[in-house]
Amino acid sequence: QKEVEQDPGPLSVPEGAIVSLNCTYSNSAFQYFMWYRQYSRKGPELLMYTYSSGNKEDGRFTAQVDKSSKYISLFIRDSQPSDSATYLCAMTRPPETSGSRLTFGEGTQLTVNP
Amino acid sequence: ETGVTQTPRHLVMGMTNKKSLKCEQHLGHNAMYWYKQSAKKPLELMFVYNFKEQTENNSVPSRFSPECPNSSHLFLHLHTLQPEDSALYLCASSQAGWMGGANVLTFGAGSRLTVL
């Protein structure tokens, strides 16, 4: 069983839609949860990260963590064609147990159509 | 130059060739990483260097040989590769010795490797 499950999509939405991207995980020791965005022919770039459970908002993006369900989400409001990319979730255990190891999901390919 | 720079961006090699991938970071970080990204698979961590010392080798075959001469430069030497090694190889850097916070990686654009 994979430690992190992410639906690879592809997901196609019209401009202006609310997008919901999700990951589930099996290891309850994960404490830091991140979302990376990867444009075509580019490396992943950090979009947001959250610690433990709760919500974090940054502009049109909201990251949500539910540790009791082992479920994380990224919401994109008023989606734009420039949001078209692959979104990767990533998570890590406390540094004393995992060193520098991030565990990534497979990535969800998103296309926002004008 | 800013961020993490990888060269070459594209590489085609035969199974008997020897080639190298280069990564340079201008962020003042002291941890560097090699990841392999294949289609329909999660990013796979290959190697980690902290302060020029290798701290993780994720059971990578010996045909991949990393080198980290200083905290700003990282190489991946390639020899006798297999077609299944074709992938995007990503270099990343971060601030080593992170405690109590997220280990935020900054990635390069990657080197697309094709093994014939």
Per-residue pLDDT of A96-105, as tens digits, reads 555 557 899 9
Q: Among partner residues B42, B104, B107, which is closest to A43 by beta-carbon distance?
A: B107
pLDDT of residue B86: 96
Q: What is the pLDDT of residues A37-82, one digit of tens each?
A: 999 989 999 999 888 888 999 999 999 999 999 999 999 999 999 9
Q: For residue A70, what pLDDT is reported?
A: 94
**Residue A31 scores a pLDDT above 90:** no
- How many angstroms separate the CA atoms of B48 and B60, rounded? 12
- Out of B55, B96, B103, the one facing A102 most closely (by C-beta) is B103
pLDDT of residue A93: 79
Which one of B21, B23, B37 would you mutate to disrupt binding with A, by most A Cβ within 10 Å of its Cβ? B37
B-chain residues within 8 Å CB-CB of A72? none
Q: How far off is chain A from B68, nearest CA to CA, in Å?
A: 17
Positions of chain B with pLDDT under 70: 1, 96-102
Q: What is the 3-state secondary structure (H, E, C) of A50-81?
A: EECCEEEEECCEEEEEECCCCEEEEEECCCCH
Q: Report pLDDT for B44.
A: 94
Please tell me the predicted confidence (pLDDT) of residue A98.
Answer: 56
CB-CB: which of A41, A45, A100 is closest to B48?
A100
pLDDT of residue B109: 96
- CB-count exposure of residue A10 (10 Å: 0-12, 13-18, 19+): exposed
Chain B touched by A105 (CB under 8 Å) = yes
Nearest CA in chain A to B106: A45
- The answer to whether residues A112 and A16 touch, using CB atoms and an 8 Å cutoff, is no
> What's the pLDDT band for A5 if we cut at 50, 70, 90?
very high
Q: Which of A4, A92, A106 sits opposite B103 (nearest CB)?
A: A92
User: What average pLDDT does the structure give for chain A?
Assistant: 92
Interface touch B40/A106, C-beta < 8 Å? yes
**How many contacts, defined by CB atoms under 8 Å, are there between A and B?**
71
10 Å Cβ neighbour count for B16? 8
Residue A36 confidence (pLDDT): 97
pLDDT confidence of residue A92:
87
Q: Do A44 and B90 touch (CB under 8 A)?
A: yes
- First-to-last C-alpha distance (Å) of chain A: 38
The whole-number pLDDT of residue B61 equals: 95
Q: Is A51–B102 a contact, with Cβ atoms under 8 angstroms apart?
A: yes
Considering only residues A13 and A99, tell me which one the structure prediction assigns the higher pLDDT.
Answer: A13
Distance from CA of B54 to the nearest CA of A (A): 12
What residue of A is the nearest CA neighbor of B104?
Answer: A46
* Interior angle at CA A83, CA A9 and CA B26, nearest 5: 105
CB contact under 8 A, B43 and A88: yes
Q: Dihedral through CA B50, CA B84, CA A44, CA B28, nearest 10?
A: 20
Identify whether the C-beta of residue A4 lies closer than 8 Å to the C-beta of residue B44.
Answer: no
pLDDT of residue B101: 61
